[in-house]
Amino acid sequence: MRIDILTLFPKMFDSPFSESIIKRAIDRGLVSIFIHNIRDYTHNKHHTVDDYPYGGGAGMVLKPEPLFEAVDSVKKEINRGNNTVPVILLTPQGQLFCHTIAQELTTKPNLILVCGHYEGIDERVREYLVTNEISIGEYILTGGELAAMVVVDAVVRLLPGVLSSERAIEEDSYAWGLLEYPQYTRPRVYREWEVPPILLSGNHQEIVKWRREQAIQRTLERQPDLLRRANLSEEERRLVEQIKQKGKI
């Protein structure tokens, strides 16, 4: 996969993409990430990328010319037609990012991420250039750079071969519609707090059952809306009702 990111602040990406899983994925040739400075596609000595909004109002608006030219340049470089590469704008007005969207994006050989900034972006960019709009949450950031990092991280870790264990992806929270069950490691007892005995029993079938029940209870307590999408058996649905009746939420 190749990911191109258009930004006004390219140095913000130096550290996040030079560490941990993403760096290993890059080193192994599983993903290529290119950062493009939007200012490089301007045509005046001041490298102007924004201007006052027509009709008045607070703040500045990103101009369309450098963004269109930047995307055109990237598409030419990767030899893709105008309609074959997703051009994703990171914006609070976008679709809320989730695991399902991350999975869908892994099927694309190329992604172009556009980091919004200032008060907004010229609407013609939305209408005629961008193919998707993504938000990472119901809050406002100073720009789309942090959101782009989140999207890249979530997508790259799902690419085949990036994680050492494919099972880790299969057991991810959200991958199976539930939050993750509680995890424990050594020591067995710490400050008089013991690991649940079931996890030490060696009974794999009972451990799987316990973890599933714990995941259901935790999801019900913290993000009950997820349960509507979860694939629950009839027995598990009865468990949900029992937890509700016992007043554990």
Give the SS3 label for residue 51.
strand
pLDDT in tens, 184-220: 999 999 999 999 999 999 999 999 999 999 999 999 9
3-state SS track over the chain: CEEEEEECCHHHHCCHHHCHHHHHHHHCCCCEEEEEEHHHHCCCCCCCCEECCCCCCCCCEECHHHHHHHHHHHHHHHCCCCCCCCEEEEEEEEEECCHHHHHHHCCCCEEEEEECECCEECHHHHHHCCCEEEECCCCCCCECHHHHHHHHHHHHCCCCCCCCCHHHHHCCCCCCCCCCCCCCCCCCEECCEECCHHHHCCCHHHHHHHHHHHHHHHHHHHCHHHHHCCCCCHHHHHHHHHHHHCCCC
pLDDT in tens, 99-149: 999 999 999 999 999 998 877 899 999 999 999 999 999 999 999 999 999
CATH code for the domain in which residue 187 is found: 1.10.1270.20
Residues 119 and 218 both lie in one domain: no
Residues 96 and 55 both lie in one domain: yes
For the ranges 18-22, 54-58, 61-65, 226-230, the lowest mean pLDDT is seen at 226-230
pLDDT in tens, 31-79: 999 999 999 999 999 999 999 999 988 889 999 999 999 999 999 999 8
Q: Which residue range(s) make up the domain with 6?
A: 2-156
The confidence score (pLDDT) of residue 174 equals 60
For the ranges 145-154, 212-221, 235-244, the lowest mean pLDDT is seen at 235-244
Which residues does the annotation mark as catalytic?
92, 119, 157, 172
pLDDT grade for 170, boundaries at 50, 70 and 90: low
Residue 168 in domain: no
Residues 64 and 18 both lie in one domain: yes
Residue 193 in domain: yes
Residue 164 in domain: no
